[in-house]
């Protein structure tokens, strides 16, 4: 699989992960959504950030939860 194929696949399927960054360093800090990611066949992630935020620290990638699972 080439990078181009992975990119095309990511644009046509639903994201598998949500990307979040802590707003500050306090224990009760809120999280800001910074993008989404798709799991690749090789186990890696294709990441697409939204906005123009500057990321000077790390960020979190959490598996997306299907909304139909929440209703059961």
The answer as to whether 61 is a domain residue is yes
The whole domain housing 14 covers 3-66
- How many structural domains is the chain composed of? 1
Q: What is the pLDDT of residue 52?
A: 76
The residue with greater pLDDT, 48 or 10, is 48
What is the model's pLDDT at position 68?
Answer: 59
Residue 19 lies in a domain: yes
42 within some domain: yes
Two tokens at 68? 């139909």
pLDDT of residue 1: 45
At 51-71, the pLDDT tens digits run: 877 777 888 888 887 765 544
Question: Is 72 contained in some domain?
Answer: no
Nearest Cα to 15, choosing from 49, 39, 31? 39
Task: Give how far Cα 26 sits from Cα of 8, 31, 40, 51, 54, Å.
Answer: 39, 11, 33, 24, 19
Domain assignment present for 50: yes
């Amino acid at each position: 699989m080439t990078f181009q194929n992975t990119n095309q696949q990511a644009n046509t399927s639903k994201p598998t992960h949500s990307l979040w960054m802590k707003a500050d360093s306090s224990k009760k800090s809120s999280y800001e959504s910074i993008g989404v990611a798709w799991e690749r066949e090789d186990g890696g992630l294709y990441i697409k950030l939204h906005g123009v935020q500057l990321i000077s620290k790390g960020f979190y990638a959490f598996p997306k939860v299907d909304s139909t699972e929440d209703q059961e």
